[in-house]
Amino acid sequence: MKITEKMRGDVLVMSVEGILVGEPEASELRGKIYRLLEKGTKKVVLDLELLRVINSMGLGVLVATLTSLRKRGGDLYLARPTHKVEGVLTLTQLTRVIKIYDSVDRAVKGFRRFRRPKTL
């Protein structure tokens, strides 16, 4: 798995490429996110355009990230999930708690109207 990071104002955009189905990928993503949370990052967009597969362990990382961000007054948005990944998100009903955008730009702009969400 390859993860790239880029700040867009006060929003961190992380692009995830490859698969997120177990170790060491889950630990790698979780570790990067938590290090950034410790530095004060509160608004994160995960760009999933190049993520080919996600399973329950990967979904667990997303939920843990969402929970940690919301506890700190932030949020997690997803951008450009592949059809396959979006299907998993829909099936598990995560689309009800995580906002999904069709572009990174729209996800970043979504934070302009950001209001502190309720914690899970």
Q: Could you state, in order of their start, the residue ranges of all structural domains in the chain?
A: 2-113
Q: Which fold has domain 2-113?
A: Transcription Regulator spoIIAA (3.30.750)
When pLDDT is cut at 50, 70 and 90, the band that residue 54 belongs to is very high
Q: Compute φ and ψ for 45, nearest 5 degrees.
A: -115, 125
115: exposed, middle or buried (Cβ count in 10 Å: 0-12, 13-18, 19+):
exposed
Angle between helices 25-38 and 56-71 (to 10 degrees): 10
pLDDT at 75: 94
Q: What is the pTM of this model?
A: 0.90
Mean predicted lDDT score pLDDT of the chain: 91
**pLDDT by residue (tens digit) across 20-45?**
988 898 889 989 988 988 999 999 99
How many CA atoms are closer than 13 Å to the CA of 82, on its beta-carbon side?
13
When pLDDT is cut at 50, 70 and 90, the band that residue 114 belongs to is low
